[in-house]
Amino acid sequence: MADLTFLRGYNEALVMAVARTLPAFERATIAAATGLTPQAVSKVLARLVDDGLIAPAGVRRPAVGKPAGVYQLVADSRYAIGAHVARRTLRLVLTDLAGAVRDSAVTALPPDFTPGTLLRELAAGVGRLAAGPAGGRLTGVGIGMVGPLDHAHGTVRDAHRLRHWHDVPLRERAEQALGLPVHLDKDVTAGVTAEAWRHGPEFRDAALIMVESGVGAGLWLNGAAHRGAHTNAGEFGHTVVDLSGPPCVCGRRGCLEAVHDRAVAAGDIRGAARVLAVGVVNLVQTLDVAHVVLAGADLLAHAGTYRAEVEQAVRTQVPRADWQRAEVTLSGLGADVIAAGAAMQVLEARYGLPGRVAPPR
Ligand SMILES: [Zn+2]
């Protein structure tokens, strides 16, 4: 027998994915975008109105034909908190159901912090953000963290350059500490999710390149986050670009991250940007992504230089760049991109699909 609970959830997710992207919509708009019958859309809309996630917003009276009910997403009906755990800081944001950042906070983390320290800071920060009007409407907490990390099991396998993070079941421990559902993912995967929400359905094959005490890439392939067989895809900084290069924290030599960081340490930001650009061209050649989004505090501090070098490389080093175009942009969410994406992943897991459904043109 078919699992109707899932089917109902799936139809709701389809409708929410469209509702999220439009200022207002009608039953026919949703039916056209999702392929659901108008009757099925009516049922889903009724349930979503009951849950307070969408609300009627008047009636449109066309010159010809019947009046049509207009609906809107109720952005402040639900909230999520996203956490970006970096090697130096914990950044928290509160987002509404539409993914808009409504509040944020940054706390410094001690060098080489332990899981216990992080959980204490996380609980304190989440408590402060939840103290406002969002408190009773929190869906959960998303955490984006440095890897290697096992999203499926909610375990940090070995965070590079953090000694106390070997096989830590962070999702479970955070759920106990916070009393809320927790979604744990790699920082870069959370970040690329935020960009997918921001860009909409034309963002199908993309990479978020992040430089912030390390180099990583979040992958969005065929309209969804790509995590790979062990959910650890994106260790872009640990791909070798120089066989006789400097030793890397991961144990190999000449990793992109090690060569890049050596240039930064020598004060050569343009050289560092060129190293990153070589890696981005490798990625474009391997995956044929159409969007490259540059992010991370260390990159954004020299945004112009990085963007110029990457853009130039993508335009001149990809053999048929006139046809195989890849757009290079800076993250529009700035320093909040990972935390915001982690919050959006919570909303996505509960209420909707990622940007797979195209709104009607
Ligand atoms: Zn490495």
CATH code, domain carrying 153: 3.30.420.40
Residues 181 and 84 in one domain: yes
Question: Of the residues 56, 73, 90, which one is the last residue of a structural domain?
Answer: 73
Question: What value does the mean pLDDT of the chain take?
Answer: 92
Q: Does residue 277 sit in the same domain as residue 167?
A: no
Answer yes or no: do 253 and 322 share one domain: yes
Tell whether 356 is covered by a domain: no
Q: What is the CATH number of the domain that holds 24?
A: 1.10.10.10
**What is the CA(30)–ligand 1 centre distance, in A?**
46
Q: Which residues does residue 145 pair with via DSSP β-bridges, in sequence order? A: 85, 186
Place of tokens 């969002």: 134
Preceding amide of 148 cis, omega within 30: yes
Assigned domain for 360 exists: no
202 Cα to the center of ligand 1, angstroms: 33
**End-to-end CA separation in angstroms for the chain:** 37
Spacing, Cα 255 to ligand 1 middle (Å): 5
Is residue 35 domain-resident? yes
Output the CA 260–ligand 1 centroid distance in Å. 11
pLDDT at 354: 60
Between the CA of 162 and the centroid of ligand 1 the distance, in Å, is 15
- As for how many domains the chain has, the answer is 3
Q: What is the DSSP string of 151-206?
A: TTTTEEEE-TT-TT-EEE-HHHHHHHHHSS-EEEEEHHHHHHHHHHHHH-TT--SE
Please say which residue of 58, 73, 88 terminates a domain.
Answer: 73
195 in a domain, yes or no?
Answer: no
Who contacts 114 (Cβ-Cβ below 8 Å, separation ≥6)?
A: 164
In a domain, 358, yes or no: no
Q: Per the domain annotation, does 149 fall within a domain?
A: yes
| Ligand 1 centre distance from Cα of residue 44 (Å) | 48
Domain edge (last residue) among 51, 73, 95: 73
Say whether both 67 and 88 belong to one domain. Answer: no
Is 197 part of a structural domain of the chain?
Answer: no
**pLDDT attached to residue 7:** 61
Domain extent at residue 120: 78-190+338-351
**Hey, what amino acid is at 163?**
R
Helices 27-34 and 38-50 sit at what angle, rounded to 10 degrees? Answer: 120
- CA 259 to ligand 1 center in whole angstroms: 10
Whether 235 and 307 share a structural domain: yes
In this structure, is residue 185 part of a structural domain? yes
Question: In the prediction, which pLDDT does 2 show?
Answer: 46
**pLDDT under 70 in the chain at which residues?**
1-8, 353-361
Check: CB of residue 204 under 8 Å from CB of residue 290.
yes
CA of 258 from ligand 1 middle (Å) equals 7
Query: Do 123 and 8 have their domain in common?
Result: no
Q: Each residue of 141-196: pLDDT tens digit?
A: 999 998 889 999 999 998 888 899 999 999 999 999 999 999 999 999 999 999 99
209 C-alpha to center of ligand 1: Å? 16
